[in-house]
Amino acid sequence: MMRNTSILIVIVILFIAGIGMGYVVGFSGQKTVASVSVTTVTSNATATAQNNSQPYDLTLMITTNNNYNSTIGAQPAYYVVTGTGLGSSGNISLPAHRLIKLVIFCYDNGTAPLLNPQYTNVSGTQNGLETIDNNDNVNSSQGTTGINIVGPQNVTNVNASNIAHTFTIPELGVNLPIPPSSTVTAYLMLNETGTFTWACFTGCGYGPTGQMGAMDTDAWMTGSLTVS
Q: Which residues bind Cu ion (CB under 5 A)?
A: 165, 200, 202, 204, 221
Q: Would you say 114 or 221 has its CB closer to Cu ion?
A: 221
- Report the nearest approach of Cu ion to the CB of residue 106 (Å): 9
Phi/psi zone of residue 86: left (φ > 0), alpha (ψ -120 to 50 degrees), beta? beta
Question: Whose Cβ is closer to Cu ion: residue 94's or residue 164's?
Answer: 164
Q: Is 55 helix (H, G, I), strand (E, B) or coil?
A: coil
CB of 69 to Cu ion, least distance (A): 16
In whole angstroms, the minimum distance from the beta carbon of 61 to Cu ion comes to 13
What is the number of residues in the chain? 228
Q: What angle do CA 64, 69, 73 make, to 5 degrees?
A: 45
* Antiparallel, parallel or unpaired: β 182-189 and 99-106: antiparallel
Q: In what order do the strands lie in the sheet with 56-69?
A: 85-88, 73-82, 56-69, 99-106, 182-189, 130-133, 153-155
CB of 62 to Cu ion, least distance (A): 7
Q: For Cu ion, which is the closer residue by CB, 167 or 196?
A: 167
Toward Cu ion, which CB reaches closer, 29 or 170? 170
Which regions of the chain does DSSP assign to beta strands (E)? 56-69, 73-82, 85-88, 91-94, 99-106, 130-133, 140-142, 147-149, 153-155, 165-169, 174-178, 182-189, 194-199, 222-227
Nearer to Cu ion (CB atom), residue 163 or residue 190: 163
Cβ of residue 169: shortest distance to Cu ion, in angstroms?
A: 14
